[in-house]
Amino acid sequence: MNNLQGIIRKSTNNVLNQWEKLGSVANNLANYNTRGYKAVRFEQMLKEDGYLTGAIRTDYSQGSIQVTSNPFDIAINGQGYIPVFSKTGEVAYTRDGALKQGVDGYLVTSDDWIVGNGIKIPSNCYKFTIEGNGDVYAYEKAQAKGKKIGNIPLVRFANPEGLEQTDMNKMRPTEESGEAVLVKDHTCIVQNNLENSNVKIMDSVSDMLRLNASMLASTRMMKVVDDMYNKSINIRE
């Protein structure tokens, strides 16, 4: 529609879409320091009727890997997720490798979800190592041979875009993502390192400034058209 009401509706539609996109950008900025976080983007599309619509997409590119020298820290260099389990039996998947030893000795996430099938670090452990394939070895003393105590599994999904993001930097599968598939014979896990988020801070700030300008322009257009509409009604009266 090319009348005043149609212009107002299109401007309102534009503001709502820009607002939703702004929310995605703000969420990225808020998670800039979240380990293993994957940035989301709101892709806009112009429909045949001239109205904007959009869809949320996730950027699964690799984040930078940072050396921490903490043996409990692991990074995933490549695609995939680590399965973790809550005390109530819930299963989720994460790329946040900031692990720790729980009160019962098991390897857990920062919020106490058990990693894999449960990997217990012995109390008399001199040190432990995590191989590229996820195998965990414990050493009783400096010159002793390592004993395998478990494996940190790595899984992948046919359609990672279909994963549902939940609390504490975890993902849950959906019908769209498909079931988790165990990855064998990989070397993706790197001990003493953590993966940073892949959020590009300068791009996010630039997007926020452009979105703010676009929203201001649309709201001003709505105000101008609304004033014209009111004047046209007064002329009729």
Q: Which range among 183-192, 198-207, 215-224, 226-235 has the greatest average pLDDT?
A: 183-192
- Dump pLDDT digits (tens) for 132-167: 999 999 998 877 788 999 999 999 999 998 999 888
The pLDDT of 112-127, averaged and rounded, is: 91
Residues in a beta bridge with 23 = none
Interatomic CA distance for residues 185 and 89, integer angstroms: 27
Interatomic CA distance for residues 143 and 222, integer angstroms: 76
The yes-or-no verdict on residue 236 having pLDDT over 60 is: no
pLDDT score, position 1? 47
- Dump pLDDT digits (tens) for 220-232: 777 777 777 677 6
Structure tokens at 98: 């900031």
The confidence band for 216, taking pLDDT boundaries of 50, 70 and 90, is confident
Give residue limits of the domains in the chain: 4-60+199-236, 65-195
Q: What is the DSSP string of 35-61?
A: TT---EEEEEEE-TTS-EEEEEEE--P
Ranges 2-6, 55-59, 163-167: which has the least confidence: 2-6
Q: H helices then E strands: how many in the chain?
A: 2, 18
CA distances from 39 to 45, 152, 168, 173, 198 (A): 20, 25, 15, 18, 6
pLDDT score, position 5? 67
Instruction: Report the share of the chain in percent with pLDDT over 70.
Output: 93
Instruction: Report the share of the chain in percent with pLDDT over 90.
Output: 54
The H or E element that residue 191 is part of is strand 189-191
